[in-house]
């Protein structure tokens, strides 16, 4: 059975629109520090797979404000908990001129312990460990300056398949009662995500787009 790894019930509701019978795994994986969502999701998927012992799907998402060079991005969760979305909106309104563009981005990371056939979608094999062992330049995954440690930590890395989705919009004063997180301050085509029904949001959202790609691929993968 496929386990969707999240502590967020809002994400589970959206995932069910794409995947029949997906079960929530309420597991809080370690979020490494990184400027991109992909390594965070990939490591989370490996950790969750080792924990659950069955196929897992990890979802890492964030709000990227253009005028703030992508902030809060991978730190969206921390910023929501500390500043709150109203303060984020006020900060954007004060510091950035209209139209105050932003995007939501989502990376889905799938791991079932097996390898994947070659395909256009990215696969994080963490084969940086092999590169490091061979003396080639290793990749500093979490940007802390210690690439060798990152490579060593992933020495037993499992292949992870990645699916990305994004949606562009702008930051506005909060409107709407639906959704979760930053939805009330994110407007797409004149409507905030919190003003949309679940179906309307799924049809255009970062998560919906990533899930559409994943669901199509997973149909062939499932036994
Ligand atoms: P995470 O992917 O669960 O770590 O979420 C990161 C942050 O982005 C949290 O503050 C979420 O509330 C927020 N977030 C993720 N997806 C959405 C979304 O679809 N709408 C609004 N906020 C979101």
Can you tell me the mean pLDDT for 122-149?
52
Question: What pTM was computed for the model?
Answer: 0.85
Can you tell me the mean pLDDT for 2-7?
93
pLDDT in tens, 188-201: 999 999 999 999 99
Q: Which residues are catalytic?
A: 60
* Ligand 1 center to 181 CA (angstroms): 6
> Could you give the percent of the chain with pLDDT greater than 70?
84
Q: 4, 39, 76, 207: which to mutate for ligand 1, most atoms within 8 A of CB?
A: 76
Distance CA 17, CA 22 (A): 10
Q: Are 60 and 45 in contact (CB under 8 A)?
A: no
Domain ranges in the chain are 2-221
* Ligand 1 center to 83 CA (angstroms): 14
If one compares 40 and 126, the residue with the highest pLDDT of the two is: 40
Task: Classify the C-alpha dihedral 68-69-73-77 as positive or negative.
Answer: negative
* Ligand 1 center to 144 CA (angstroms): 24
| The CATH number fitting domain 2-221, selected from 3.40.50.720, 1.20.210.10, 3.40.1160.10, 3.90.950.10 | 3.90.950.10
150 lines ligand 1 (CB under 6 A): no
80 lines ligand 1 (CB under 6 A): yes
Cα dihedral: 116, 112, 29, 200 (round 10): 80
Least confident of 11-20, 150-159, 193-202: 150-159
pLDDT band at residue 115 using 50, 70 and 90 as cut-offs: confident
Strand partners, 192: 187
pLDDT exceeds 90 at position 111: yes
Burial, 96: exposed, middle or buried (Cβ in 10 Å; 0-12, 13-18, 19+)? middle
pLDDT exceeds 90 at position 167: yes
């Amino acid at each position: 059975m496929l386990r969707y790894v999240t502590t967020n019930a809002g994400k589970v509701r959206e995932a069910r629109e794409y995947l029949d019978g997906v079960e929530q795994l309420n597991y809080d994986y370690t979020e490494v520090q990184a400027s991109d969502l992909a390594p965070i999701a990939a490591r989370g998927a490996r950790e969750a797979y080792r924990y659950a012992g069955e196929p897992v799907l990890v979802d890492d998402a964030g709000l990227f404000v253009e005028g703030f060079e992508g902030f809060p991005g991978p730190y969206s969760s921390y910023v929501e908990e500390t500043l709150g979305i109203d303060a984020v909106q006020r900060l954007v309104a004060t510091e950035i001129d209209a139209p105050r563009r932003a995007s939501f981005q989502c990376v889905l990371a799938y791991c079932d312990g097996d390898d994947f056939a070659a395909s256009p979608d990215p696969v994080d094999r963490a084969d940086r460990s092999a590169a490091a062992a061979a003396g080639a330049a290793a990749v500093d995954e979490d940007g802390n300056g210690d690439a060798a440690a990152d490579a060593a930590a992933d020495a037993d890395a499992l292949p992870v398949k990645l699916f990305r989705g994004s949606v562009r919009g702008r930051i506005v004063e909060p409107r709407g009662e639906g959704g979760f997180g930053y939805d009330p301050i994110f407007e797409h085509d004149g409507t905030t995500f919190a003003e949309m029904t679940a179906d309307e949001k799924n049809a255009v959202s970062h998560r919906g787009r990533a899930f559409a790609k994943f669901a199509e691929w997973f149909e062939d993968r499932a036994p």
